[in-house]
Structure 1
Amino acid sequence: MDDRRSVLVLTNPYDVTADMVLRILADRRVPVVRLDPGADLYAGVSLTATYRTGEQRGTLRTASRELDTTGIQSVWVRRPSPYEGPPRLSDQDRRFAGEQTLWGAGGILASLPDAHYVNHPWNNRAAEFKPSQLSTARLCGFLVPNTVITNDPEEAREFVASRHGGVVYKPLWNTPYRVEGQPHSVWVREVHGSEITDAVSVCPHMFQAKVDKAFDVRVTAVGDRLVGVRIDSPDLDWRRRQDLMTCTPVDVPEPVARAVTDYLAGLRLTYGAFDFAVTTAGDRYFLECNPNRQWAWQPAQTIAAIARAIADQLEKGPDT
């Protein structure tokens, strides 16, 4: 295989969504290396990088091949395992090894010369901050629900009291949470002034005017290709009971398409999953854009279109 055309896919071994794209690349005879750096580097895989004046070199050795990392044309940052260190080590040594792997191997894999990233991990991280999303969306011309992010209980109470159409609470990050030892998801839900206590001062909270929506829309953007689906659900947060929702392919209006393009450019993204709340009047309010969200739950034709678009991005490599 020609290493100059190699695609590197960073994901865990149980990522069946990635498998769909890998099958397309295999059919096209595009050479692919799949790597889970947070686990594989403790299981026989080695990664080396050398830097000197005027030259950068690197080698990735797996059980089946040796790859010149400077010849990697595209990197798909999908769902790699966290850098937690080898489980056989003590807590302190494991934490040390995990952080050294993050800052060492993670840095190498994020600094491959001339590689095309979908998306670059540092751009992914920057684009995950909700304040950055809202600020960028506003600048790109999206309708944005009135929102306040605060750790001031009085500010929160005043905001809730001033929104007669209702207010919802949204976590700023999907932090793992347990109740009586069991995993517990913090869903988007309506909140009332009487529920806001001084506990708000512990950390910033995000409160947003409730959109009187008729349905939701997910727009998946891969480069200049946009794929939309309408989501009908009985729940405020359709993710809560996905078995009750229905999804239907839908066109993306031109003004939304232009704003999506500007948004991706502003945050230096190739892939983005945009969520909108659509009112009965047809107004589309921007809720969020996740730079690395799952997409294989959508209708079959939508899944196929997204998989092809990602495969095309990885196969073409960097723009010249």
Structure 2
Amino acid sequence: MEEARYGLGGILGSLPGAHYLNHPWRNRDAEFKPAQLATAERCGLIVPPTVITNEPDQARRFVDDYGPVIYKPLRDTDQIDDDGRALTVWIDDVGPDQIDDRMVHTTHLFQQRVNKVADIRMTVVGDRLFPVRIDGSPGVDWRRHYEALTYTLIDAPPDVGKGVRAYVDAFGLTFGAFDFGLDAEGRWWFYECNPNGQWAWLPCSITDQITHAIADRLTNPSGDTT
């Protein structure tokens, strides 16, 4: 499916006369990760300790205080190699010895690594939530290990569902792809929300439900089922 290649909003927005699930301006606002983290916390979601900085000493202190720590891109950018192939910056562990003066040239995001037992991708379409538990990743970034993963559609705890709905309302979104880490105590740690996230790579039994929810929302943008 094309959604798996290009993301939802890009496809729908390119169709003449098509409805948007999210207005492009709402997508733009909701892609800013510092705003995501602050909004998630205000909405009652649990956010790992995080620092955004370009100062090496501050980054080293954070690693010392909160290690193990992961590094993740502050924003998605188009990166290609010399042959024109798309590149991805993977989420990975970082130690104080890896931080040097080169980081002063741009801002970086460091976050305490969640001691997770599984990952969760929750796709939100209007008032419908599709939380999927992802098991089997041998590393920090499950996107590097698709062949090892299993997917199970689960229920979200009421407090998480409430926080997620408050979050999409705060940004004026109808659609969002949320990433969480699940720890051994059952806590859902908010990582980020991609307002234009992919979903068609999930098993068909899950993808079909999301597809129907999107179709329902596009044909009835008000969400009124009466």
Q: TM-score, normalised by structure 1?
A: 0.64
Q: CA deviation at 1:180?
A: 4.9
Whether the 8 Å contact between 1:249 and 1:299 is mirrored in structure 2 is: no
Residue 49 of structure 2 is matched in structure 1 by: 146
The CA deviation string for residues 209-240 of structure 1, in whole angstroms up to 9 with x for no partner, is 01000000111110100011110111210111
Residue 215 of structure 2 is matched in structure 1 by: 311
Q: 1:169 aligns with which of 54, 71, 77?
A: 71
Whole-angstrom CA distance in 2 between matches of 1:204 and 1:190: 17
Whole-angstrom CA distance in 2 between matches of 1:178 and 1:313: 35
User: SS state of the match for residue 118, structure 1?
Assistant: coil
User: SS state of the match for residue 239, structure 1?
Assistant: helix
- Is 1:17 aligned with 2:3? yes
Runs of 4+ in 1 over 6 A off after TM superposition: none
The structure richer in strand per residue is: 1
Q: 1:248 aligns with which of 138, 144, 152?
A: 152
Which residue identity does 1:118 align to in structure 2?
A: L
Which residue identity does 2:114 align to in structure 1?
A: V
Aligned residues: 218
Whether the 8 Å contact between 1:119 and 1:271 is mirrored in structure 2 is: yes
Residues 1:279 and 1:196: Cα distance change in structure 2 (over 3 Å): same
Whole-angstrom CA distance in 2 between matches of 1:81 and 1:121: 8
Which residue identity does 1:313 align to in structure 2?
A: R
Residue 79 of structure 1 is matched in structure 2 by: 11
Q: How does 1:1-320 map to 2 (within 5 A)?
A: 16-17=2-3, 77-79=9-11, 117-164=20-67, 166-181=68-83, 182-232=85-135, 233-318=137-222
User: SS state of the match for residue 79, structure 1?
Assistant: helix
Query: Which ranges in structure 1 are unaligned for 5 or more consecutive residues?
Result: 1-14, 19-75, 83-108
Q: CA deviation at 1:319?
A: 6.6
Whole-angstrom CA distance in 2 between matches of 1:153 and 1:176: 25
Whole-angstrom CA distance in 2 between matches of 1:17 and 1:178: 21
Which residue identity does 1:169 align to in structure 2?
A: Y
Q: CA deviation at 1:303?
A: 0.6
Residues 1:234 and 1:269: Cα distance change in structure 2 (over 3 Å): same
The CA deviation string for residues 91-121 of structure 1, in whole angstroms up to 9 with x for no partner, is xxxxxxxxxxxxxxxxxx9xx9xx9631100
| Bigger CA radius of gyration | 1
Identical counterparts, % of pairs: 45
Q: CA deviation at 1:80?
A: 7.1
User: SS state of the match for residue 144, structure 2?
Assistant: coil
Query: Which ranges in structure 2 are unaligned for 5 or more consecutive residues?
Result: none
